[in-house]
A and B are shown apart, each in its own frame.
Chain A
């Protein structure tokens, strides 16, 4: 029974394979659960993949590639699209010469995120077509479809995934051939790409015209399908919710939508009319239900309580019963914690003992908010620790302001902490401020990816390095100290108390490699030294 043509792939792996087979010339992104493995696998297959400092830059690099006529991919988690939303809204106007597929990996239920925003809203807000796969085979097929739609209408396409598509594995039957797209070449289109008001007004009209054409095409698009069945109720669904719905109610007819913006309203109206009751089964926001109702089609939406968290088979059964009684609360598991040998333990222990008010940030070190440390007072978004720390410093009474510290990791600092540091130099609080950069030489939380501060690229090969202390000094911070937090050493405590006392602007870089990859990092460094040596390296043999 074994079928050698079927591969067991995660959604992320399936997208990487499809991108490789589509001849995608460049994949850019910033690591973020659950999207990270897409570019890592695309690179392993031989694709040109790179980590950018943040999602906005990654998006812009991909836009450049697509302006050059190439097929480009950009990947990020849902909150990453907030960072990249500025270019998103305007590249929708300009369109692209090649193809641009934007992967947004949403995290309903917040397994590893600070919010559960539903990025389907972005497709509507920016005016880009959106595809929602339900398993790995569709992740594969829909990436290929996204490339085709993007090229056909010269428009960026949003491929919207969720955790259970990215990190679930299922069988994929890939095609065998690999596309050889047109070679990249620049064709000037000044009025199409220079978005000054006069040109942008025309571009907006072009965008709406494209969307109208795609909506018409979507009425007969093979990416949507009807599963025949019973009529009371019939279900409308998309993404992984389709799988839960099919299992929870195998007897119901289903309209499964694959291309969920712009919606095929005639097809939806026809389906809704063909059943006695029509229930929309969707995870997160009631995006489909609201849009369908706004079009005058009567459908039932899920009760409000199912907006929160993921859907699953049990919850879909409850929705179909209109059951709004409290759900069983699962027994608590063991929460994660900072590793036993993590150098950041020393930092948070010190911050706790000094009763600091800590503006925190996104990474492993957010675990410093949990017992026994409880040494973090805010965590909002990537890079926010600097601005929030500064805002607190500006308004708090002196006895509180003098205890405010911003804590940020190395990768997060490069991502979006640098502009906060510029803000600190430009608008210094009267009592100064202290920024602690936790530098473990890796993007640890998402699985140890490289970043510009490590001096190695996505493939762990040597490249240009942003030296954090040089960057801080270049921003105008005079008090910059690098220390190594170690058990038995009071270097960090000493640096912190001196910096707080000084009332100056201070940056303390607490540098020690992540214990989980310390050996691996040494190995990379050896290889880097060897390559810089022109390949001469005895120790690497």
Chain B
């Protein structure tokens, strides 16, 4: 059985960590994978560190990414890279805010969607599947702006793929 794809989403309370994780889980569900996500949100609105785990593949057991087995670390805040780097497997990739040209974002708070765009370039799901999941997560009036943010992130990865991409 092929191993699951393991993603950690990290950031600070209020940055949209939970929403980004929801979207990854939703796109995996839409693509027909088994999927689990786990979040710790008691303190999420008080500016503290928030990390979420999302895993998808043929069959997912534990809802938490085992220590040192994350394929991707998606950091919505640069300060959250180092505290979470130990979760990555050897050769795992980081997706960090610096890959996004912040001045080109339709809105500053859409950084999470742009980073999902960057992540999407590494995964097997189609751009269309991603856009459907992004669209379903927000009010329709922000659809176009979120689409732009997503595509901005997706385009950012053409030149810089540092990762060994897993099968999923």
Contacts and interface: CB of A to CB of B under 8 A. Distances in A.
Interface residues of A, number: 41
Given A164-B63, A240-B63, A364-B46, A331 B37 contact: no
Interface in B83-142: 83-84, 86
Given A333-B48, A333-B80, A2 B25 contact: no
A171 B46 contact: no
A8 interface: yes
Given A331-B83, A331-B86, A163 B40 contact: yes
A338 B45 CA distance: 10
A43 interface: no
Interface in B65-84: 66-68, 79-80, 82-84
Given A169-B25, A313-B66, A337 B48 contact: yes
A527 interface: no
Contacts, number: 117
A164 B46 contact: no
Contacts of B63: 135, 164, 168-170, 240, 243
B40 A312 contact: no
A160 B36 CA distance: 20
Interface in A160-186: 163-164, 167-171
A111 B62 CA distance: 18
Interface in A332-349: 332-339
A336 B61 contact: no
B40 A111 contact: yes
Nearest to B10: A333
Interface of B: 12-13, 25-26, 29-43, 45-49, 51, 60-64, 66-68, 79-80, 82-84, 86
25 contacts: A1-B32, A8-B29, A33-B42, A112-B40, A164-B63, A167-B40, A168-B38, A168-B39, A169-B37, A169-B63, A170-B34, A170-B37, A170-B63, A240-B62, A244-B64, A247-B66, A312-B64, A332-B83, A333-B51, A333-B83, A334-B48, A335-B49, A336-B46, A336-B48, A516-B45
Interface of A: 1-3, 6, 8, 33-34, 111-112, 135, 163-164, 167-171, 240, 243-244, 246-247, 312-314, 328, 330-339, 364, 367, 445, 447, 516
